[in-house]
Amino acid sequence: MIEASRGLRPLLAGPLRRGVELGAGYVDFGGWVVAFGSAVRMPNGCAGPVRLWIGGGSLEPDAWWDPRPVPRIRLDVDRQWRPDPIRLAGRGSGLTPAGDDILAGYAAGLTLFHGRRQEAEEIAAVAAPRTTSLSATLLRHAARGELPEPAHRLLEDGDPEPLRRFGHSSGRALLLGLALAC
């Protein structure tokens, strides 16, 4: 069974695009990176047995999941700080630097908690050209309120542990960004 994020619908329904493999299950389709086969549902993800053909074939998901959580809790931090996308974008190591993950959490929080999607999209637009293509994709998803599944467990169920354990530092940085947006 192939399960895909609803956030991928425009990409999968749009015109035929060439992709470039980035490794580790990621393919870049002209600045939009899709995660294939991840153990965790991602806002840019497609899970299940997937085959890609060059010159033909198609990918038709059997099921869709909603990458946008419905928050039932609020987060709080002692000190308010507004993350600066120019200073944070691309800062840190890895495919998704910690600075980008903080910005993604903050942008998602602006949209999910306050309905300030335009402001979140502006943050993503400023940060995207300053970082990796994967981070840029995740920032654009976050600006729409679309987050990895471990963030859903926190926001919908109040369980921070899956998000804390997500990635090398991504989960903790996303958590900080979400809290700063509250």
Question: What pLDDT digit, counting tens, does each position of 49-105 carry?
Answer: 655 544 555 567 788 889 999 999 888 777 778 899 999 999 998 789 999 999 999
In angstroms, the CA 61 to CA 71 distance is 26
Q: 34 in helix, strand or coil?
A: strand
Residue 29: beta bridge partners? 32
Mean pLDDT is lowest, of 7-16, 24-33, 124-133, for: 7-16
**Structure tokens that stand for 33 in this block:** 């990176």
Residue pair 1/63 in contact (Cβ under 8 Å)? The answer is yes
DSSP code string of 36-64: ES-SS--TTEEESS----SSS-----SEE
Mind giving me the DSSP string for 98-161?
HHHHHHHHHHHHHHHHH--HHHHHHHHHHHGGGS-HHHHHHHHHHHTT---HHHHHHHHH---H
Q: Specify the pTM.
A: 0.88
Query: How is the chain split into domains, by residue range?
Result: 3-65, 85-181
Q: What is the mean pLDDT of residues 140-157?
A: 97
In angstroms, rounded to a whole number, what is the distance separating the alpha carbons of residues 36 and 91? 25
